Structure 1
Amino acid sequence: MTLNTRLTALLGIEHPVLLAPMAMVSGGRLAAAVTAAGGLGIVGAGYGDPNWLRVEIQNSENARVGYGFITWALARQPELLDAVLAQQPATVMLSFGDLAPFTARIHAAGVPVTAQVQNLAQARSALAAGADIVVAQGGEAGGHGMSARSTFTLVPEVVDLVAERSPDTLVLAAGGIADGRGLAAALALGADGVLVGSRFWASPEALVSPRAQQRALQAGGDDTVRTRAFDLVRQREWPAEYDLRLVNNALIRRWHGNEAELQSRLPEVVTAYQQGVAAEDFDVDTVLVGEAVGLIRDIRPAADIVADMVADATRILNRGNES
């Protein structure tokens, strides 16, 4: 059972399902599993740890995968782009910053550029920079992003913009997509495919603690929150316009909205946080998933996730055609 779209044709894949390059979670093993299932896995190179990236390139075992970077972090270590281009990736995905300094090098290697955006202004910039694929990420998504726009309205607006300005550019939907219903909805909104994070986060191939995954299974979408407090605690210097979605806990409830006080007490809070991480105490450590966590009932292999998502979406779309 397949769903053929412009995305499957461009990337030479069977299903229009891409693994989100979740930093330090989407490793080579998970990316290779999604690719083997007919989608495309994207390794989350994230903040640009060269040793981690080297290991995960090896763990992909020569599977055809992509690589994703936090753009402002890649700008500090541009040599990492050469390292992944040497692997002849299926795509390089850039998120959270100006991709223009990198597109020429990526295109020169014959690799499509995927750009993740959170609003129309960013989408226009991505098109101007030469993105081949634009990912419209709604605020439902886990991890970093923006809270202003929802997937359901952002995606068709980006689709319309792209159709007008660059009709050969593809659009993917991201944020809140965890099953066949989300895939079918994204295609109905005009997207060429989906980028999926949280559902694959809850797979045995993901670089995630089993205890963290069990904590996620106890949560619903209402239990998640967007905040900047966590980046302050773990001392990640993100641009002010970005926050992140995670499962709420005691640490976040204490400091979300109290960032000024947090800054003044940061050393003691960081110490307590580091102790909580070591103990896997999820009242302190965090579970970085999105609102779709409420749709996740189990920890499943990536191959099963892809197969079920595509089968369910196909049934839904066929049912609509029959009516």
Structure 2
Amino acid sequence: MPIETPLTSLLGIKHPILSAPMAIIAGSRLVRAVGEAGGFGILGGGYGDKDWLEKEITKLQASSAPFGIGFITWSLAKRAELLDIALDAKPRAIMLSFGDVRPFASRIKAAGSLLICQVQSEDMAKQALDAGADILIAQGTEAGGHGASRTTFDIVPAVIDLAAGRVPVVAAGGIADGRGLAAMMVLGASGVLLGTRFYASVECDGAEEAKRRICAANSGETVRGVIFDVSRQIWWPAPFTARTLINDHALRWMGREAELVHNVEAVAAEYATARDAGNYDVAAVFAGGAASLIHDIPPAAEIVERIAREADQILSGQRNFPGTPLAVSSR
């Protein structure tokens, strides 16, 4: 059965499951597949590749499924014209993460799109609400890619309390199955945003070797830090750092970040060569703590249906959380 929440009503979707706008690898194939399965896919606009954005938007417009487009906010501020390209496509929503949304909020809402803001603290949530956010994503540090230090079980209820029912709050970070969706709904979230789980899907445009490594990862085999941003010479603002799978490059420089910065030109050249060759002993796989829960690479539609079905069974009392003596029931 569909799980109806304020989020599903607002976005006009069947399941309260969103796919994260992972830069470049969350392309039109993934976004369309998630949307057609009843979730909500968000295109990964990332740092702002105009040609890529226009090409992927054109592909998306061939589908009737609703979709969103996501941007790294501080990077969008350097190429604000990309927002016009996105809004011309009439997405159901624009998602902004990691920066001040106020310069863009009025344009997004005037164009008729919903404004989704990803936040990592109460102060960020207050700023987003003041700017007119329609949906808040409360992102915990367990999330893959960039984020901050608050845990999912800390930040999600804090943002829910702050929002006080004014807008739906979506949980992100360390969630990969129906247990995670059910748990977040018990906390009061209206849905979940998943990155790493959809990275390991057929339609994700990530490298197959990267997907394989996600499936092989064990608990504790991710790390949050600045090593890969420094190695790519992409200087992210504080407090945002990146969570990745631990590989040889991470092990080489963990605890030696100052030395890495000192040798950045030589290391960056080595890193670029390895990345272009698909060498993931050096190149980053941006993945979250939920990687240890992921063991297969199915179609995105199967992921959506599987998570929705499992969460519904738990919430309706038909199925227990593993290891619990009593069923959780919300009905």
Paired letter, 2:92: A
Question: Partner of 2:250 in structure 1?
Answer: 252
Distance 1:178 1:277 in 2: 27
Q: How does 1:289-304 map to 2 (within 5 A)?
A: 289-304=287-302
Aligned match of 2:329? 321
Q: Take 1:310 and 1:194, find their aligned partners in 2: how far apart are those partners? A: 11
- Counterpart residue number, 2:153: 152
* One-letter amino acid of the counterpart of residue 205, structure 1: E
Distance 2:250 2:278 in 1: 16
Give how far 1:94 is off.
0.3
Aligned equivalents of 2:237 and 2:193: distance in 1? 23
Give how far 1:58 is off: 2.3
Counterpart CA distance in 2 for 1:129 and 1:196 is: 25
Q: Who is 1:141 aligned against? A: 143
Q: In the TM superposition, what is the alpha-carbon distance from 1:210 to its structure 2 partner?
A: 0.6
Partner of 2:33: 33
Instruction: Give the aligned residue type for 2:24.
Output: M
What is the number of residues matched between the two proteins? 319
Q: What is the letter of the counterpart of residue 161 of structure 1?
A: L
- Give the secondary structure class of the aligned counterpart of 1:194: strand
**Which deviates further from its counterpart, 135-144 or 101-110?**
101-110
**Alignment correspondent of 1:12:** 12
What residue is the counterpart of 1:224 in the other structure?
222
Contact 2:181 2:307 in 1 (8 A): yes
Partner of 2:188: 190
The more displaced of 50-59 and 94-103 is 50-59
The alignment partner of 1:122 has SS state of helix
In structure 1, stretches of 5+ residues that fail to align are: none
Instruction: Give the aligned residue type for 2:89.
Output: Q
Q: Distance in 2 between matches of 1:278 and 1:304?
A: 31
Deviations 1:35-81 (A, max 9, x none): 00000100010101101111211232433210000001111111111
SS at structure 2 position matched to 1:144: strand
In 2, the alpha carbon distance for the partners of 1:52 and 1:125 equals 30
Provide the rounded CA distance (Å) in 2 between the counterparts of 1:318 and 1:141.
27
Instruction: State the one-letter code of the partner of 2:85.
Output: A
Instruction: Report sequence identity in percent.
Output: 50
Question: Which residue number in structure 1 is paired with residue 51 of structure 2?
Answer: 51
Question: What amino acid does structure 2 have at the position aligned with 1:46?
Answer: G
Q: How far apart are the structure 1 equivalents of 2:59 and 2:255? A: 40
Alignment correspondent of 1:71: 73
Distance 1:232 1:183 in 2: 34
Q: Distance in 2 between matches of 1:55 and 1:88?
A: 15
**Given the alignment, which residue of 254, 259, 262 partners 1:261?**
259
Which residue identity lines up with residue 272 of structure 1 in the other structure? Answer: E
Task: Using the TM superposition, give the Cα deviation of residue 195 of structure 1 relative to its aligned residue in structure 2, in angstroms.
Answer: 0.6
Distance in 2 (alpha carbons) for counterparts of 1:139 and 1:221: 15
Classify the secondary structure of the residue corresponding to 1:273. helix
Which TM-score applies when normalising by structure 2? 0.94
Is 1:214 the equivalent of 2:216?
no
SS at match of 2:40: coil
Runs of 4+ residues deviating >3 angstroms:
none
User: How many angstroms apart in 1 are the aligned matches of 2:218 and 2:288?
Assistant: 9
Q: Residue 103 of structure 1 aligns to a residue in which SS?
A: helix
The letter for the 1-side match of 2:53 is L
In 2: Cα distance, 1:179 partner to 1:75 partner: 34
Range moving further from structure 2, 58-67 or 195-204: 58-67
Give the direction of change, closer, same or farther, for the CA distance of 1:211–1:322 in structure 2 (3 Å limit): closer
Deviation track 1:8-59 (CA, whole Å, cap 9, x = no partner) reads: 1101111111111011111111000000000010001010110111121123
Deviation at 1:128, TM superposition (A): 1.1
> What secondary structure sits across from 2:267 in the alignment?
helix
Distance 1:322 1:101 in 2: 40
